[in-house]
Structure 1
């Protein structure tokens, strides 16, 4: 006669991952592929412009701009922690500071482009450098703008009292996008302003 052993159910139930996070990782993967294409194109065309200006002649290291953008990754983490602690005032402050740092970065990029266009005569159609530079840096700036719009919407919800700690997963998912934008800037900064000069 055989005995049948019955196992007790596991105390740890497995749950599907949060759909928003899975979607964001999928988006980040796809966007990484797009950025890789633009970065490879920029690297491929370094030094191939037949006419000036060249990167060495017109580009300056945007150190301060970089510090502002990378600091926004810290402020968004602080905002996430405040939301978990249910400290909505602190959340609004840190989240608003993240938006401010992103806006300062965009203004710095706009100021750089204004100088490049009006003083240095570099446009997207000037030479290969201009084409690849504006394409790559512009693609990143577009992602910053999209991120800032989403961050602003969350801040509006929070200030109006519609954001609660139960929305932590959604806020963390958006923060992943923002960290991605910051990480991409490290690559863009290195390729365009360090290697490409």
Structure 2
């Protein structure tokens, strides 16, 4: 008699471990940022000179809206409505891409103003924290593209449902981490 392995449960457990590992990584990056924030070495500090409240609020809105639209995509997938799933996922992708492009433009502007990661401990911690988050957004966008293509090619694939659910958890975590970044990095720097 052979032991039956519930691979779905094992994969779900493995994915939860992955997500918790990501949470630990971001916790360490937040702790590093907290320690390094005052280490400006005579360079610019966090504040209105570096960040724009309007710009950061705009791309925060984009990312949080993409989390909402991906929630609608997940519900559409559960209803076996491939058309609506593709529509909502495409909208989520566009919002996430817009977020990433604005973040990239902010990085470019900071580096152009000689406020790059090599300038000070604060800027190094800032670029590492926000850049790691941006990398997660890029991974999520790639994952969305793959899942969308798979839904069009073989919507009945039993593994696709698990991938959509895991992507939803990942994307919502990316949104939650951004709320923490916005609250810890940007708001204190911009709100008097």
TM-score range, shorter chain: 0.7 to 0.9
Cα 1:72–1:19 shift into 2, 3 Å = farther
**Equivalence for 1:50:** 41
1:170 equivalenced with 2:163 (yes/no): yes
Provide the C-alpha distance between the structure 1 equivalents of 2:133 and 2:43, rounded to a whole number of angstroms: 24
Which one of the candidate residues 114, 138, 148 is aligned to 1:145? 138
Which one of the candidate residues 159, 174, 179 is aligned to 1:181? 174
Supply the RMSD in Å over aligned alpha carbons: 1.7
1:108 equivalenced with 2:118 (yes/no): no
Moved more, 18-27 or 120-129: 18-27
- Contact 1:83/1:164 (<8 A) preserved: no
Q: What is the 5 A alignment of 1:30-179?
A: 30-56=21-47, 57-61=49-53, 62-118=56-112, 120-159=113-152, 161-164=153-156, 166=158, 167-179=160-172
Which one of the candidate residues 178, 181, 184 is aligned to 1:191? 184
> 1:45, CA displacement in angstroms?
1.6
- Contact 1:80/1:168 (<8 A) preserved: no
The structure with the larger Rg is 1
- Structure 1: gaps (5+ residues): 1-14
- Contact 1:79/1:94 (<8 A) preserved: yes
> 1:54, CA displacement in angstroms?
1.5
Q: Deviations over 1:41-85 (max 9, x none)?
A: 111122222211121121123001000101111111111111111
Provide the C-alpha distance between the structure 2 equivalents of 1:164 and 1:189, rounded to a whole number of angstroms: 39
**Which is richer in helix?**
2
- Structure 2: gaps (5+ residues): 1-5
**Alignment length, in residue pairs?**
181
Q: Deviations over 1:124-145 (max 9, x none)?
A: 1011121111010011011111
Cα 1:33–1:78 shift into 2, 3 Å = same
- Contact 2:147/2:163 (<8 A) preserved: no
Structure 1 segments (4+ residues) deviating >6 Å: none
